[in-house]
Amino acid sequence: MENLQEIPAPLLAWYDRHARILPWREQPTPYRVWVSEIMLQQTRVEAVKPYFERFIGELPTIRDLAEAPEDRLLKLWEGLGYYNRVRNMQKAARQLVSGYGGEMPQDFDAILALPGIGSYTAGAIASIAFGMRRPAVDGNVLRVLSRLEKSYDDILKQSVRRRFEEELLQVIPEERAGDFNQSLIELGAIVCVPNGAPKCPECPLKEVCRAHADGVELELPKKTPPKKRKMEDRTVLVLVSDNKAGLHKRPEKGLLAGLYELPNLPGRLNREEVLEFVKKQGLSPLRIQKLPAAKHIFSHIEWHMTGYAVKVEEPPAFWENGGTEPEGREIQKAPAQEEIFFVEKEQMEKNYSIPAAFGAYTQYFKERY
């Protein structure tokens, strides 16, 4: 966007007068920037301040972080939540000790490769601590840029973040890359604030802002909330015949497309309904046993599963997929796409990858029925 060319000068002038005094802004060493940015990811600035001082006081170097006992580390993080953040930091610190002499390398790709560091944090460290011309686009910056450009693109999309990163790369000033990134973050944090109260009269960019020009700043940024997962009841069958297991190939389109699965059907069926279904498939059930319920969470669907183990009589040979043709008898009919077929349990384990959604039930093939 061409109006981004106009932002560095007024933004930096504003930052010089209005930037908050924050502990990590004094001596912005790579380690201090890193620790602060990780803490700030899910926590407010005011809440982070005392944690930051205590953490840096007790573990003043990357090496100290690498060597800290886990209990001490978790204690220092207690109250901040999302403990994986600090576990990942320690993993990264250990990599820095073993590979880089305990120092953060001045190399963007190497920083980005560390555990727990994504493009935002890598960009913040590279620009604030090393002065490298790299963007650092967090939620604040996404909001500021959406409004500046009057962009209705969904800021939760990776592609939108990448586009903003590319556009910023064109305008980050050579001499003050870190201050420029922090000024965008700061503007988002104290002026171009979310939840209906942007302080446009105070904004150094009000003349360049396209959302402000059209009076639509409250409509932006756009975020499509993730859809609620659909709940689905399914009944899963562990079909066994001697040493064979009944399988089914999923349709080529949709969820788990083209993969093999344990036969399953919608709803929460009772024994009678299951037996009826099994007979309809041309199979003769000998015994049925209810199995414990199980749950599997996909990104958009949640399966709540009821399971049954059903022992059936030996199915006709032509049902065997890939089995040898019985002597003197022609295969009458290849199993149709949608039909259940039987394979040796051993073959199933070796040659058919069954999705994890059925993991709670595949174990029952190991039992005797």
Binding region for ligand ADE (CB under 6 A): 22, 37, 40, 45, 138, 182, 185, 189
The one-character DSSP state at 195 is T
Look at the chain and count its residues. 369
* Residue 127: CB minimum distance to ligand ADE, A: 10
Residue least distant from ligand ADE (Cβ): 40
Judged by CB, which is closer to ligand ADE: 139, or 335? Answer: 139
Residue 181 or 264 with smaller CB distance to ligand ADE:
181
Q: Is the preceding peptide bond at 292 cis, omega within 30 degrees of 0?
A: no
In the complex, the smallest distance separating the C-beta of residue 68 from ligand ADE, rounded to whole angstroms, is 23
CB-CB contact of 176 with 12 (8 Å): yes
Distance from the Cα of residue 243 to its chain's centroid = 40
Alpha carbons 38 and 59: distance in angstroms, whole number: 15
Write down the least CB distance from residue 191 to ligand ADE, Å.
Answer: 13
Total Cβ atoms within 10 A of residue 44: 9
Smallest separation, CB 200 to ligand ADE (Å):
20
CA atoms within 13 A on the CB side of 248: 17
At residue 172, what are phi and psi to the nearest 5 degrees? Answer: -65, 125
CB 236 within 8 A of CB 330: no
Q: Shortest Cβ distance from residue 111 to ligand ADE (Å)?
A: 16
Closest contact distance (angstroms) between CB of 212 and ligand ADE is: 23
Q: 172 and 199 in contact (C-beta within 8 Å)? A: no
Residue number with CB closer to ligand ADE (41 or 281): 41
CB of 24 to ligand ADE, least distance (A): 6
- Return the number of the residue (45 or 256) whose C-beta is nearest ligand ADE: 45
Alpha-carbon gap, residue 148 to 207, rounded angstroms:
10
Cβ pair 102, 63 in contact under 8 A: yes
CB-nearer residue toward ligand ADE: 37 or 149? 37
As measured in angstroms, the least distance from the Cβ of 18 to ligand ADE is: 12
Helix, strand, coil percent content, the chain, rounded in steps of 5? 45, 15, 40
Query: Quick one: 38 or 211, whose CB is closer to ligand ADE?
Result: 38
CA pair distance 326, 255, nearest whole angstrom: 36
CB nearer to ligand ADE: pick between 7 and 33: 33
d(CA 353, CA 91): 33
**Residue number, 134 or 150, with CB nearest to ligand ADE:** 134
333, burial (CB in 10 Å: exposed 0-12, middle 13-18, buried 19+): exposed
| Residues whose CB is less than 8 angstroms from the CB of residue 269 and which lie 6 or more positions away in sequence, other chains included | 235, 277, 306, 308
- For residues 183 and 15, the answer to whether their CB atoms sit within 8 Å is yes
DSSP state of 317: G
Could you confirm whether 37 is annotated as catalytic?
A: yes
- Spot the catalytic one: 2, 6, 26, 37: 37
- Compute the distance between CA of residue 240 and CA of residue 340 in angstroms, rounded to an integer: 12
Which strand (E) or helix (H) includes residue 139?
A: helix 139-149
Instruction: Just list the catalytic residues.
Output: 37
